[in-house]
Chain A
Amino acid sequence: MAAPDVTAGARPDSRLRAPGRRWSEDAVKLGLGLCALVSVATTAGIVVALLVPALEFFREVSIVDFLTGTEWAPLFEPARFGAIPLLVGTISITLWACVVCMPFGLGAAIFMSEYAGDRTRKLLKPLLELLAGIPTVVFGYFALTFFTPLLRRIGLDVEIFNALSAGLVIGVMLIPTVASLSEDAMSSVPIDLRSGAYALGSTRLQVATRIVVPAAISGIAASYVLAISRAIGETMIVLIAAGQQANLTFDPMRAVETMTAFIAATGSGDTPTGSIEYKTIFAVGLTLFLITLVMNAVAIRLVRRFREVYE
């Protein structure tokens, strides 16, 4: 190696100089940030799209009448805008969905997390994913053309469109949701807790029900909340199988209309822009959006809590 060139000491080799900021690096970061902005814009868009027409709606219809009225007939003369029948329809459907998805989803999760071997689990998971991947319009078709006739055959006096069939089928659709989230929660319960319980002479049943389930309870609760929120937001199954009559009834044998079914049915009709009927879509949509937003916030909270426990 030649001796360093002393004369160049004042000006170091240009290749070794710290490069200035490369504009291409910044441009890429900016571009990626803009991609991320799309989802912020989506949220802002949803809020504005719902809020503006909904506020106009509430200028014409009092919010008290909307939330307490027991008659929903926006397309009739005189129009009635009591949302209680839609809320009751939604709640009734959601309850029937919960009757199915909560116990069976949890049962499936316990089986996969505590009882199934690796090979069984590898077989069951894709099957559950398959069930979760069936489009809702297909479930709706199934509820109307297979499940409702089945309910009649076993002696239930259900109408062609009824809350029971739609609710139960939504419940089956949500089993994978509950199962996979609950299973995640149970799998993250440390093995030490199980070993400790076994060492004290617990049976497998006791370990599952008294150690694992309580330890994973907030994750299980989160999966339940998410399932409820999805049942509330489900559209196609209720639109097809529960009917489109806003009956104020908890009778599962009868047709009901949910918030989502109303939005879909009215949106697909030829309601003129700016009319009060058109604005009802947004008032009902806003109600739906706020309900699911709150439920989701609860679910995120619950998940965070169970994560904090063992880290």
Chain B
Amino acid sequence: MSASATVVSGGRPRGLWRGRLFVAGLVLSLAVGFATLGALLVDVLKKGVPFLDRALLLNPPSSNPDIAGARPAILATLYIGLLLIAFTVPLGVGTAIYLEEYANRERWYNRLLEINIQNLAAVPSIVYGILGLAFIVRGLGVGRTVLAGAMILTLLVLPTIIIAAREAIRAVPDSIRQGAYALGATKLQVVARQVLPAAIPGIATGSILALSRAIGETAPLIVIGALTYVSFNPTLLGPFTALPIQIYQWTRLPDEDFKLLAAAGIIVLLAMLLSLNALAIWLRNRYQKKW
């Protein structure tokens, strides 16, 4: 940018070349990101595809990379995903409705609530792991279980879902509310029968995107000690290991074959996340209304 300081008096052709050079720089900026993304995907596919078989999906982990699988980890990730939906959607949407439809912005506690949510969204995920370790795993005595993992990830993605749901609710035009009030609807009726149904596509899209972020989270689960050898199917209140943690575990092992197995695990994880994202994009395009 400092190079442009001398442009002012420059003649046309000179400026033209500077402009072209500048655009080339901008395109390069984008290319850095996309080249890395491409290299990452190609690298993972090349290494992982040979190990992408039934054994990976159906077998428990093993010290022999040829028969080792990630079944317990994949199941635990699915369980966590289901629990997350059950926990985060009511809490997140409830908070968003409160802030958008009920809260009086003039009150200090409502402003505090907003700042609080903004701040929570920027807290590093590992700090949520510490919170979970102190209060959920040990304080509440939930232990190092699937339930504890889901509760921690719930707190982690709640701010994201609240922010997405608020945007969706805010996008519902006020005329809809006024119209309903004019017909004699109560506040509850306006919110439950007009605003919420109109905001559902936006809320669903935001929630799915947040869910896909949570499923890939590793650090907070490591802190609560999900880094264990689990060879049986997980239960709600039993020890567990999630798919990203299984990948981390395999990456740490010195045997090169386990690194390839990790790549196969990454393919499974990315496939799960991509289908969630595709679902979110489809929902957005299919149901989102333009007012």
Contacts and interface: CB of A to CB of B under 8 A. Distances in A.
Contacts of A29: 98, 102
24 contacts: A25-B186, A28-B191, A33-B102, A35-B91, A39-B159, A48-B134, A49-B130, A111-B27, A111-B29, A115-B23, A130-B37, A141-B259, A145-B259, A203-B18, A205-B15, A205-B18, A213-B1, A233-B125, A240-B251, A267-B129, A267-B223, A281-B130, A282-B130, A296-B118
Interface in A87-143: 100, 103-108, 110-111, 115, 124, 126-131, 133-142
Interface of A: 22, 24-25, 28-29, 31-36, 38-40, 42-43, 45-46, 48-50, 53, 100, 103-108, 110-111, 115, 124, 126-131, 133-142, 144-146, 169, 172, 175-176, 179, 203-206, 208-210, 213, 226, 229-230, 232-236, 239-240, 260, 263-264, 267-268, 273, 281-282, 285, 288-289, 292-293, 295-297, 299-300
A235 B219 contact: yes
Q: Which of A22, A29, A42, A295 has the most CB of B within 10 A?
A: A42
Given A108-B30, A288-B126, A206 B4 contact: yes
B22, B27, B128, B158: most-surrounded residue (chain A CB, <10 A): B22
Given A133-B212, A146-B39, A263 B34 contact: no
Nearest to B256: A145
A257 to B, nearest CB: 14
Contact of B225 (A110, A239, A267): A267
A285 B28 contact: no
B73 to A, nearest CB: 12
A292 B123 contact: yes
Contact of B119 (A206, A288, A293): A293
Q: By CB atoms of chain B within 10 A, which of A36, A229, A235, A236 has the most?
A: A36
Interface of B: 1, 4, 7-8, 15-16, 18-19, 22-23, 25-30, 32-34, 36-37, 39-40, 43-44, 47, 90-92, 94-95, 97-99, 102-103, 112-113, 115-120, 122-131, 133-135, 138, 155, 158-159, 162, 186-188, 191, 209, 212-213, 215-219, 222-225, 227, 244-245, 247-248, 251-252, 259, 262-263, 266, 269-270, 273, 277, 281
B95 A140 contact: no
Q: Is the interface of A mostly helix, strand, loop or mixed?
A: helix
B122 A38 contact: no
